[in-house]
Amino acid sequence: MVNQKYLDKAETLIEALPYIQRFNRKIVVVKYGGSAMLDEELKANVIKDVVLLKLIGFKPIIVHGGGKEISRWVNKVGMEPRFINGLRVTDKDTMEIAEMVLAKVNKELVTLVESLGVQAVGISGKDGGLLQCHKKLSNGEDIGYVGDIEKVNPKVLQDLLERDFLPIVFPIGYDTNFDSYNINADDAACAIAEAVHAEKLVFLSDIEGVYKDKDDPNTLISELHVHEAEKLISEGYVGGGMIPKLQNCIDAIEEGVNRVHILDGRIPHSLLLEIFTNKGIGTAILREDGEKYYDEHE
């Protein structure tokens, strides 16, 4: 008699079959940032998940941040990190630090992927003219070299995917004068997902998902249609970094990305759990005609 433990394993693999079929050769953009980047074990788990997606035939692209690491280095040189509406005030020195730190983080991620036997190429938004931007103002205020993405040239990503590399992107771009700009990583992930017509965009965040009441973790919302997400923003149910994150989710859906998800990057393997099971973790943002699964089935 075969041990039940092994039968359960086989069952788990079979359960994943429809999801593997659905996403075969499809592009999945994973935004990786926040605290999940600071913990080495979590980082290794996230990278293993993405490598697994790649090896079973998905086409993942990682877009990463590293805001906390940038702040650490800004502090190290005796400066004080400053944010306005979730965006880093970026003077020339901060710009230099941000680019250096993100490039370092980028190569660490490339190394992790390569060590698992998958070929990765780390690039910034400057490479191949991927992210062209102009200065972004915050409510009319100049906050330095912060970029608003104007144009995405996805050719470099398409070429890398075509040749079976796993692209890993960090959010620095330039304007038409070739001045460097620091771009919010959520904005970069959203713009890239739209430009490559991703099937799915996943934000690995520092929180479970979107709460109806931002101070009450018992109010996690599993699924949101675009108009409901807009209402949460306009009626003040979401605040802080969740406002631009949710707005990016709405934009991605409106620009044709099929599924957008906010997941808790602190939960080990949250990415795999979301893609391969119907356990419904985090918050899914759905097109208006997208059927809600959990309301209807649970």
Ligand X SMILES: Nc1ncnc2c1ncn2[C@@H]1O[C@H](COP(=O)(O)OP(=O)(O)O)[C@@H](O)[C@H]1O
What does the per-residue mask of binding to ligand X show for 187-226, with x meaning CB under 6 A? Answer: ------------------xxx--xx--x------------
Of 42, 55, 16, which is closest to residue 166 (Cα–Cα)? 55
Distance separating alpha carbons of residues 120 and 109, to the nearest angstrom: 9
Q: Which is nearer to ligand X, 66 or 118 (CB)?
A: 66
Binding segment (CB under 6 A) for ligand X2W, from list 3-11, 63-71, 104-112, 126-134: 63-71
Contact partner, 282, from ligand X2W, ligand X, none, Cβ < 5-8 Å per class: none
Distance separating alpha carbons of residues 42 and 81, to the nearest angstrom: 25
E strands present in 6-165: 27-32, 59-64, 83-84, 87-88, 120-124, 131-138, 141-152
Using DSSP, state whether 228 is helix, strand or coil. helix
Contact partner, 122, from ligand X, ligand X2W, none, Cβ < 5-8 Å per class: none
3-state helix, strand, coil in the chain (%, to 5): 45, 25, 30
Select from 23, 32, 237, 276 the one that contacts ligand X (CB under 6 A): 237
How close are the terminal C-alpha atoms of the chain, in Å?
Answer: 35
Distance separating alpha carbons of residues 62 and 50, to the nearest angstrom: 8
| Integer CA distances (angstroms), 19 to 26, 197, 234, 272, in order | 11, 19, 34, 11
Q: Is 106 in the site for ligand X2W (CB under 6 A)?
A: no
Q: Which residues are annotated as a binding site for substrate?
A: 66-67, 88, 182
Count of residues of this chain found to bind ligand X2W when the rule CB under 6 A is applied: 15
Select from 23, 28, 30, 33 the one that contacts ligand X (CB under 6 A): 33
Q: Which is nearer to ligand X2W, 66 or 122 (CB)?
A: 66
Contact partner, 242, from ligand X2W, ligand X, none, Cβ < 5-8 Å per class: ligand X
**Nearest-CB residue for ligand X2W:** 65
Tokens of 258: 């099929």
Give the nearest distance from C-beta 36 to ligand X2W in angstroms. Answer: 9
167, 62 in Cβ contact below 8 A? yes
Footprint on this chain of ligand X2W (rule: CB under 6 A): 33-34, 65-67, 70, 87-88, 98, 146, 171, 182-185
Footprint on this chain of ligand X (rule: CB under 6 A): 33-34, 86, 205-207, 210-211, 214, 237-242, 245
